[in-house]
Amino acid sequence: MWSTIRGVRMGARSSAVLGVVLLLGACAPGCLLPRQQRMVQVRLFFGRDIPGGGMVDDAAWADFAARVLTPTFPDGFTVVEGLGQWRNPADGQITREKSFVVEVDGAISAARVDQVSAAYRTAFHQISVGVTSTEICAAF
């Protein structure tokens, strides 16, 4: 017995092996809950200390969120206040500061993340904005 898949002629044994491989692929672990979908989760870490003095206060943050975050991530995001610590690569000093952690789930482009990071660094004279990303399963 012969089968043809995309113009490739295979014997019965090859067809059976291919069938098992396809079946195993279909049974690969997916999301735990039925309504969940695979998506990307990005976290951005915004330090509140302004180099040279001062701090990004609640009013300045609210303005930044309204002008930059909301139009860039119109499907939504979550903001959590945090306390971060990092080592300045230029001088090796440890800095501890209040921060905002923004989490965005869904269809996120690198360009949008870069746009938000650049806007914050420019507006508040920051050296960097931390960014992590991971694949998750989620339902909303």
Domain range for 2 is: 1-28
User: Could you give the number of structural domains in the chain?
Assistant: 2
- CATH number, domain of 46, equals 3.30.70.120
Instruction: List the structure tokens of 90.
Output: 């230029």
Rounded Cα distance, 128 and 126, in Å: 5
pLDDT tens digit at each of 140 positions of the chain: 433 333 434 444 444 333 333 333 333 358 999 899 999 999 999 999 998 999 999 999 999 999 999 999 999 999 999 999 988 888 999 989 999 999 999 888 999 999 999 999 999 999 899 999 999 999 88
Model's pTM, two decimal places? 0.74
Phi, psi of 38 (to 5 degrees): -75, 135
